[in-house]
Amino acid sequence: MEGGAKIKPILHKTRRASALRVGSGIGGVARAQYGLDVTRQSGSLEKLTMKIDRKERVCRAIEFRQPDRVPIVFWNRDQTEGDVLLYHLALGAPGDGSANAWDWSVNEWGYHLVKSGDGTMGHPVEPVYRELPRPEEIRVPALREEDRMSAAPAFFETCGDRYRLASFDLSGFTVYTFLRGFENAMQDFLLEPKGFAALMDRIIAFECDLMRMAARHGFHGIHFADDWGTQSGMMISPPLWRELFKPRYAQQFALAHELGLHTWYHCCGEFLPIMEDFREIGVDVLNIAQPNVNDIAEVGRRLRGRQCFMMPISYQTVSISGTVEEIYGEAERLHRLLGTPEGGFIGYVEEYSVMGMSERNYCACGEAFRRLQV
């Protein structure tokens, strides 16, 4: 099948911030401006947050050690309002773009994301390898540690006592589909198992080298970003996923833990059939990016109290078209079904004006997680 066909995204992702974008959008003044009720978080909660630093708060939530409140991650805007700061590990081709940014035109693996002019990250239209390359033809990026970590000193200074999360930005399966084209990749799994293994294992090995580098530089966690679900089910069967990908992820997660890193895993779409697999092989924080297409009550029955979740207010439904009260209610529902008094829940806020999110609703998402009681 022709390899140059466009990947049909489940949900347009916003372009990752090129650095730390600090703004007033979620601060107290803005919350008051939009009439958001801040009374539940005032006074006693502010005193409680003084007891532990922000990195410790995140670790306690991940490890079920009773955080003083629900940690919050602001992903692509107002990051310093949260408990976690994100460092981008991906680079562009040499001479293209800068460190800790999403400002390259051609990625270091050779794929190009065509922008749509709507603020999203774009999409690939041409595969890097129209035919499966022989092992000696695979062009693995250089580690480029000095370049990759050149923005780290300033990042660490900004971090202060926050949790330092290093992100692959895109990883594993997603990178493979960008290199081969989506349709070709799906055929490779069954028709070209040896060629698939050669390329996939090079991707895995490169990511392992990046993890070792992140650990050397003092990061606390490593963030993977793959999408396994569509709006109504998985892209490949769970048995095939367990055969081809589960052992490779298990290898990566085990290495991360040996290095002292927590593993954070992002996935769009409906992927309930393999959520317990992720827990089994060592995912510490599971980001269910589209709670609106997953049975969250069933997720909770299977994994509440054993798996830490990072959850957004759905940026397809509630955070786009809901009222402030509905956003508050959704945060409470997610926390009730997935969180525990011991931890296991992290709030996730992403600005999605490209999907129709208003400034008021963006502010309400942050406030909704602030209001949660542990």
pLDDT tens, position by position, 142-154 = 999 999 999 999 9
Are 324 and 361 in contact by the 8 Å Cβ rule? The answer is yes
SS (H, E, C) 29-77: HHHHHCCCCCHHHCCHHHHHCCCCCHHHHHHHHHHCCCCCCCCEEECCC
What value, to the nearest 5°, has the Cα angle with vertex 262 and ends 102 and 338?
95
CATH topology of domain 28-370: TIM Barrel (3.20.20)
Query: What integer is the mean pLDDT of 86-112?
Result: 95
pLDDT tens, position by position, 331-352 = 999 999 999 999 999 999 999 9
More reliable by pLDDT, 51 or 88? 88
- Could you count the other beta carbons within 10 Å of the beta carbon of residue 172? 20
Give the H or E element holding residue 5: none
What value, to the nearest 5°, has the Cα angle with vertex 351 and ends 349 and 357?
110
- Least confident span in 15-29, 279-293, 296-310, 324-338: 15-29
Q: In sequence order, what are the beta bridge partners of 287?
A: 266, 310
Which residue ranges make up each domain of the chain?
28-370
Residue with tokens 């990072």: 310
Q: What is the chain's length?
A: 374
pLDDT value at 187 more than 70: yes
Are 282 and 250 in contact by the 8 Å Cβ rule? The answer is yes
Q: Report the distance separating Cα 134 and Cα 116, nearest Å.
A: 33
Q: How far is CA 284 from the centre of its chain?
A: 13
What value, to the nearest 5°, has the Cα angle with vertex 116 and ends 113 and 119?
95
Q: In sequence order, what are the beta bridge partners of 317?
A: none
Are 206 and 141 in contact by the 8 Å Cβ rule? The answer is yes
Residue with tokens 């490169």: 206
pLDDT band at 116 (very low <50, low <70, confident <90, very high): confident
C-alpha distances (whole Å) from 133 to each of 15, 47, 129 are: 30, 58, 7
pLDDT tens, position by position, 209-231 = 999 999 999 999 999 999 999 99
Q: Report the distance separating Cα 12 and Cα 3, nearest Å.
A: 21
pLDDT band at 42 (very low <50, low <70, confident <90, very high): very low
- Report the pLDDT value the prediction gives residue 49, as an integer from 0 to 100: 44
pLDDT band at 78 (very low <50, low <70, confident <90, very high): very high
Query: What integer is the mean pLDDT of 187-195?
Result: 97
Query: What integer is the mean pLDDT of 172-179?
Result: 97
End-to-end CA distance of the chain: 52
Q: Report the distance separating Cα 239 and Cα 246, nearest Å.
A: 10
Q: In sequence order, what are the beta bridge partners of 112?
A: 106
Q: Report the distance separating Cα 347 and Cα 74, nearest Å.
A: 9
pLDDT band at 51 (very low <50, low <70, confident <90, very high): low
CA atoms within 13 A on the CB side of 54: 20
CA nearest to 223, candidates 310, 331, 157, 105: 310
- Least confident span in 12-16, 34-38, 193-197: 12-16
More reliable by pLDDT, 11 or 122? 122
